[in-house]
Amino acid sequence: MEIKILGTGCTRCDSLEKEVFNALAELDVAARVIKVKDIHKIMAYNVLATPGLVVNEKIKVSGRLPRRDEIKRFIREELDQ
């Protein structure tokens, strides 16, 4: 599983990264977590507002900080496929 945090380094982007790691730990799931800070790479996902969350190349959230239970649901959805 690959999870990308889209954002230029704002506080909300850092908070999202922490919540992703917490969710992964609670689910006992291993994943590659990548921070994408390059604005051109972020724009390639058609994300107009950060932070953005991409799980297995699927945009799950943009422009807001999702709750941990949402992040866990996104991870579970990808594990079930």
pLDDT at residue 70 in the model: 97
Q: Report how far residue 38's alpha carbon sits from residue 65's, in angstroms, rounded to the nearest whole number.
A: 19
> Which residues span the domain enclosing 26?
2-79
Among the listed residues 61, 6, 48, 52, the one whose alpha carbon sits nearest the alpha carbon of residue 77: 61
The bridge status of strand 58-62 relative to strand 52-55 is antiparallel
Q: Is position 4 annotated as part of the catalytic site?
A: no
Given the residues 3, 5, 6, 13, select the one marked as catalytic: 13
Rounded to two decimals, the pTM is 0.94
| Residue 13 Cα distances to 21, 23, 65, angstroms | 13, 15, 8
Tokens standing for 37? 């800070």
Nearest by Cα to 21 from 12, 13, 29 = 29
Per-residue confidence (pLDDT) for residue 76, from 0 to 100: 96
Say which of 1, 10, 43, 48 is annotated catalytic: 10
Low-confidence ranges of the chain (pLDDT < 50): none
CATH of the domain at 44: 3.40.30.10
Q: Residue 80's pLDDT is what?
A: 87
The pLDDT tens digits of the residues spanning 44-62 come to 999 889 999 999 999 999 9
Domain count, the chain: 1
Active-site residue 35, yes or no? no
pLDDT given at position 48: 85
